[in-house]
Amino acid sequence: MPAELTARLRAHAYGLGFDAVGVAALGAPETFEHFRAWLAAGQHASMAWLDGEGAQLRADTRRPHPGATHAIVVAASYGGREPAGPVARYARGDDYHTVLRARLRELHAWLEGEVGDAVDARPYVDSGPLLERDLAQRAGLGWFGKNTMLITPRAGSHLFLAALFVDVALTPSVPFEADRCGTCTRCLDACPTGALPAPRVLDAHRCISYLTIEHRDAIPVELRAHVGDLLYGCDICNDVCPWNVRFAQPSRFDAFTPRDLFADASDRDGTRALARELLMMGPAEYATAFKGSAMKRAKLWMLQRNACVVLGNIGTDEDLAVLDAMLAHEQEIVREHAAWAVAQLVSSSDTAPRTTPSRR
């Protein structure tokens, strides 16, 4: 019976380490019009894959994998209890795409064993044309926070979302209808670049995560000081959320344990050291250091661009030598950001101590 199979499936998924599990019937997302308006306003910045054909596929969850009828939606903590740092928590361990896809394949194999037949299924881990948060809300996992993140009642929002699309009859979960943000606006107030102009509206042009990970051009000069000490991604709007302060969970996946590269980057001196290490890396060292890491989403020159901005914000005269070396970098963007950072440090060398705030 669908209800009995669904109950066993949920229990098995929790046993695999997921923090939240639900089932949603596939169909048109309720938030698609909101998504389309966001695209029309151009707030997706340069992420063109979200528009056009990508948007049309997202208009109905039955389109990406024809024949599937239900999605098993899961959430996995990536370590919301880990200390803040210059690299967003989600990217400090192994690549979540690979880790969670493998775990969903385990769930798929278990499901085939339960039904006694082959099951047409496909795992999605931030890799398909889906409105994942809409699907998760329909599967009862949580609600859309004012920071645009999916917040779950018992684990906050430091979570990966993933789904296994199947052609098996399952009992859908009750959608999560409540809005538990109330009158709180801490996430909007805390964003240093103003990337959250209104509740549940993200302007990617100003988002530090977008600027340091997806953006393939120069970081706007007027936003560089606001990037502070953040090298890759940003957790600020999550960190200030009361639901994370109280309910964020450690990860149940060993693969998400932070790599040694980030072990000493918990204070300003450690962040400066990491930034210098990135600037001194060559392609081979980069490939070795970030093998199997989600951080390879950003190319080496992008990380070096980011490192220049960070040193321009929190660096000292001790960092001038490596920044001077970047003035001869093969990438013009890195050269320009290095020149900006040098100018920042030189202009402040004879003044009072720097007052650029740490984001942690």
Q: What is the pTM of this model?
A: 0.95
Write out the residue range of the structural domain in which residue 104 sits: 2-166
Q: Which of 116, 145, 166 is the last residue of a domain?
A: 166
Does 24 lie in the same domain as 160? yes
Does the residue 203 lie in any domain?
no
Does 277 lie in the same domain as 140? no
Does 153 lie in the same domain as 25? yes
Q: Which of 51, 126, 167, 267 is catalytic?
A: 126
Amino acid making up residue 326: M
Does 162 lie in the same domain as 263? no
The structural domain count of the chain equals 2
Q: Which of 116, 133, 166 is the last residue of a domain?
A: 166
Does 39 lie in the same domain as 154? yes
Does the residue 345 lie in any domain?
yes
Does 161 lie in the same domain as 27? yes
**Is residue 126 among the annotated active site residues?**
yes
CA distance 268 to 199: 31
CA distance 132 to 73: 9
Does the residue 90 lie in any domain?
yes
Does 162 lie in the same domain as 264? no
Amino acid making up residue 177: E
Does 56 lie in the same domain as 158? yes
Does 289 lie in the same domain as 157? no
**What are the counts of helices (DSSP H) followed by strands (DSSP E) for the chain?**
15, 6
Q: Which of 113, 142, 166 is the last residue of a domain?
A: 166
Does the residue 216 lie in any domain?
no
Does 148 lie in the same domain as 11? yes
Does the residue 251 lie in any domain?
no
Angle at CA 244, nearest 5°, toward 275 and 30? 105
In order along its 360 residues, the chain shows pLDDT tens digits of 899 999 999 999 999 999 999 999 999 999 999 999 999 999 999 999 999 999 999 999 999 999 999 999 999 999 999 999 999 999 999 999 999 999 999 999 999 999 999 999 999 999 899 999 999 999 999 999 999 999 999 999 999 999 999 999 999 999 999 999 999 999 999 999 999 999 999 999 999 999 999 999 999 999 999 999 999 999 999 999 999 999 999 999 999 999 999 988 889 999 999 999 999 999 999 999 999 999 999 999 999 999 999 999 999 999 999 999 999 999 999 999 999 999 999 998 755 444 455 555
